[in-house]
């Protein structure tokens, strides 16, 4: 009996498909040991989502054999060009260390997406690890309004392709460059709104026990949507508000766990000093440090240094010189965010509740009201269209009934009229001579 059972387990082992294990999901800790060997664990089957009882008949927990994960390489997942088959490329919208990003329309649904295509070659290289890390992170973190949404990923000819949400406002770095050319910068209310929205995205990322590790303007993306500012009444003209700006965190290639991290240092201009010193005990606070400098860049500061005296001054808690006058309360908040002691920096949770950002939070509430009005406006339009359709249908039915009546009347009048019976009027003509 034992021999037969062993042979059956070996057969099941061979038939188990090879799949990647996402290191950023909680289940990954149960799927493999540090030594990579098979492990056995007790598992009690619970009722599944369909309501079927999966409890063993004897009521005892059963043993399940877990196989070690075999990582699927880029070359093993190659397929016929899905990119060319499913997407029509419109334009190249960016490039960086990882590769290039293209604006594409999907042939099936007609929607626009951003397709990130890695550089070549990838298979077996460090770049492949980073590419897979970004896919893993996107798959776990792509369900928040302030994180760029993830749709799918696949490999073609040693290229990793990632299908993400297309942000029509470009990156924050693009907006800062445009401001620089036009001799302007983000105003204080705009800076507070930027800080609040990105802090909300970081709060979500950190709540998943993950850290971004590469927050900077080129990794913050802008989505602009126009919505009606008020609910329109019957007969009013369309009154559209200015664009609503939503900031989203993207480029998740440096994401790592808070515990047992595998840190890939990001841009040195935004890198906290403790990370450079390989002190990883307060990694979420490194994201806060980078966010402060991101806001400083949006405020119009000169390009940040990659090293040198000014680089060290910033790590000592000194803000770069700004070309505009900001309130002392906002400056104090930015200073504490770059405090040399990471423990003294506020968390993302504390930031979103900070008194300095209350006005921005109220603005967000106002934007929610605007969105609600937009939905009411859409419903109003639909009701108008429905009423028009009902009136048109009623008018068509009335015309058809009128036509039938006229046809019936015409048929009746074409017949000779005959006067019969008591009501027939008689006329007599008498001539007297």
CA 396 and chain centroid, separation: 46
Which residues on adjacent β-strands are paired with residue 249? 147, 220
pLDDT of res. 156: 87
Sheet containing 159-165, strands listed edge to edge, beginning at the edge strand earlier in sequence? 87-95, 99-106, 112-118, 159-165, 150-156
On whether the CB atoms of residues 202 and 220 are closer than 8 A, the answer is no
In 182-282, alpha helices (H):
188-207, 273-276
Strand 62-66 and strand 210-211: the pairing is: unpaired
In 16-52, alpha helices (H):
28-31
Q: Which residues contact 128 (CB under 8 A, 6 or more apart)?
A: 73, 74, 122, 160
Which residues on adjacent β-strands are paired with residue 100? 95, 117
In 42-171, alpha helices (H):
82-86, 126-141
pLDDT of res. 250: 93
Binding residues for Mg(2+): 219, 251
- Among 214, 243, 267, 309, which one carries the catalytic annotation? 214
pLDDT of res. 332: 96
Coil, strand or helix: which one is 13?
helix
Cβ atoms < 10 Å from Cβ of 127: 21
Closest-CA residue to 186 (of 353, 326, 364, 338): 326
**CATH superfamily for domain 63-166:** Phosphorylase Kinase; domain 1 (3.30.200.20)
Q: What is the DSSP letter of 202?
A: H
Distance, CA of 220 to CA of 247 (rounded, Å): 6
pLDDT of res. 48: 39
**Successive 10-residue mean pLDDT values, the chain, 433 residues:** 58 59 64 47 40 42 48 53 92 85 93 88 69 88 90 88 94 94 92 96 96 96 73 44 81 90 90 94 97 97 94 96 94 97 96 86 59 67 77 82 75 56 53 52
pLDDT of res. 19: 63
Distance, CA of 351 to CA of 368 (rounded, Å): 20
Strand 220-225 and strand 244-249: the pairing is: antiparallel
Query: Domain 167-388 belongs to what topology?
Result: Transferase(Phosphotransferase); domain 1 (1.10.510)
Q: Which residues contact 368 (CB under 8 A, 6 or more apart)?
A: none
Asked about 12 being catalytic, the answer comes back as no
Residue-range domain boundaries for the chain: 63-166, 167-388
């Amino acid at each position: 009996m034992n021999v037969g059972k062993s042979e059956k387990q070996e057969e099941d082992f061979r038939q188990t498909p090879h799949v990647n294990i996402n290191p950023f999901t909680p289940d990954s800790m149960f799927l493999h040991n540090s030594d990579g060997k098979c492990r056995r664990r007790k598992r009690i089957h619970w009722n599944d989502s369909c309501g079927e009882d999966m409890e063993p008949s004897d009521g005892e927990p059963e043993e399940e054999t877990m196989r070690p994960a075999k990582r699927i390489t880029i070359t093993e997942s190659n397929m016929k060009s899905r990119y060319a088959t499913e997407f029509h490329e419109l334009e190249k919208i960016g490039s960086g260390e990882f590769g290039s990003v293209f604006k594409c329309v999907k042939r099936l649904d007609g929607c626009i997406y951003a397709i990130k295509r890695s550089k070549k070659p990838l298979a077996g290289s460090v770049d492949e690890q980073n590419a897979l890390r970004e896919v893993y992170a996107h798959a776990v973190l792509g369900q928040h309004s302030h994180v760029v949404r993830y749709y799918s990923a696949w490999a073609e000819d040693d290229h990793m392709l990632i299908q993400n949400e297309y942000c029509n406002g470009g990156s924050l770095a693009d907006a800062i460059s445009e401001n620089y050319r036009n001799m302007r910068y983000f105003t204080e209310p705009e800076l507070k709104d930027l800080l609040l929205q990105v802090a909300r995205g970081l709060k979500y990322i950190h709540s998943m026990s993950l850290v971004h590790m590469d927050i900077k303007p080129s990794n913050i993306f802008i989505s602009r949507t126009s919505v009606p500012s008020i609910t329109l009444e019957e007969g009013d003209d369309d009154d559209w508000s200015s664009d609503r700006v939503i900031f989203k965190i993207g480029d998740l290639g440096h994401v790592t766990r808070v515990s047992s991290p595998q840190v890939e240092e990001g841009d040195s201009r935004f890198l906290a000093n403790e990370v450079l010193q390989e002190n990883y005990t307060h990694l979420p606070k490194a994201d806060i440090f980078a966010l402060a400098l991101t806001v400083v860049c949006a405020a119009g500061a000169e390009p940040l240094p990659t090293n040198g005296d000014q680089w060290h001054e910033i790590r000592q808690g000194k803000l770069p010189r700004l070309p505009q006058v900001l309130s002392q309360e906002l400056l104090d908040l930015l200073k504490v965010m770059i405090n040399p002691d990471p423990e003294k920096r506020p968390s993302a949770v504390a930031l979103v509740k900070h008194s300095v950002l209350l006005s921005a939070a109220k603005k967000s509430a106002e934007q929610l009201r605007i969105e609600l009005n937009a939905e009411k406006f859409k419903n109003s339009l639909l009701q108008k269209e429905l009423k028009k359709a009902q009136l048109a249908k009623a008018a068509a039915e009335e015309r058809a009934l009128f036509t039938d009546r006229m046809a019936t009347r015409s048929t009746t009048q074409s017949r000779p009229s005959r006067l019969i019976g008591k009501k027939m009027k008689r006329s007599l003509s008498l001539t007297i001579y």
